Structures are given as C-alpha cells and as structure tokens.
Amino acid sequence: MTHYVDGFVLPVPKKNLDAYRKMAQLAGTVWREHGALEYVEWVAEDVKPGTLTSFPQAVKLEEGETVIFAWIRYESRAKRDEINAKVMEDPRIKDAFDPNTMPFDGKRMFWGGFEKLVEI
C-alpha cells in the first residue's frame, strides 16, 4: 500500500517545549481521530549548522530554540486532503492554534506533502 506523508519542521523556544508538547499531543489526537495513520513529532538532539543549509539554518534558529521535525502519515493524498479539511474545521484545533498564542514562531515553520520513493 502506498502512503502519503505531510512533513514539517519548525523552531520552538526551549522554554516553551512543555506548552508545545501539549499542543502537539492535542494535534496528534485530533489528526488520528479524523483518520491519520500516524502522527509523530521529534525534538532535535544532534543537529548542527551546515556549510550551505541545515535544519537550524532552514528555520533561522535563534539562541534558546530547538528544532522540531515531524510527520503525519495517511493512506493516500486524497485521504490526507479529506482528513486535513476535517481537522481544520475541528474546534479543538481552531482554539489551540491561534497564531497570537502559539508557543513557537509559525512564520519560520515549513511543511509539505510527500509521496513514497523507497521503503525497505
């Protein structure tokens, strides 16, 4: 079976990690309830600035911040579009994801959808 993945990377102030974790746990619950197969978020442990680019450079990491790397797995692109439409209408997400109160700078977040290339 071919799956589809939304991936995203963002900077989070280390002092806000607990608040971010709570928001991510809520998001994961909502995405899974609406049909996502998997919701996973990781915090940087070994990421360094590169010569040309890197995770820290991609999010313009500032002092006191860390990088979050995450993905949401779906059955297909069509299911992803269907699930994301439902998630965006879910009042729990609308309430929790107010850009003025989020525990990170959403302007430095990047994301995209991916088709599987290799799985071993």
This prediction's pTM: 0.93
DSSP line for 36-100: -SEEEEEE-SS----SS--HHHHTT--TTEEEEEEEEEES-HHHHHHHHHHHHH-HHHHHHT-TT
**Average pLDDT score over residue span 35-63:** 96
pLDDT greater than 80 at residue 22: yes
pLDDT tens-digit map of 70-120? 999 999 999 999 999 999 999 999 888 888 888 999 999 999 999 999 989
pLDDT of residue 98: 83
Burial of 87: CB neighbours in 10 Å, binned 0-12, 13-18, 19+: buried
> Which residues make beta-bridge pairs with 69?
9, 42
pLDDT greater than 90 at residue 2: no
* Whether 20 contacts 68, CB under 8 Å: yes
Mean residue pLDDT of the chain comes to: 95
pLDDT of residue 1: 64
Kindly list the structural domains of the chain, giving each domain's residue range(s) and its CATH number in brackets, ordered by start.
4-115 (3.30.70.100)
Tell me if residue 106 falls in helix, strand or coil: helix
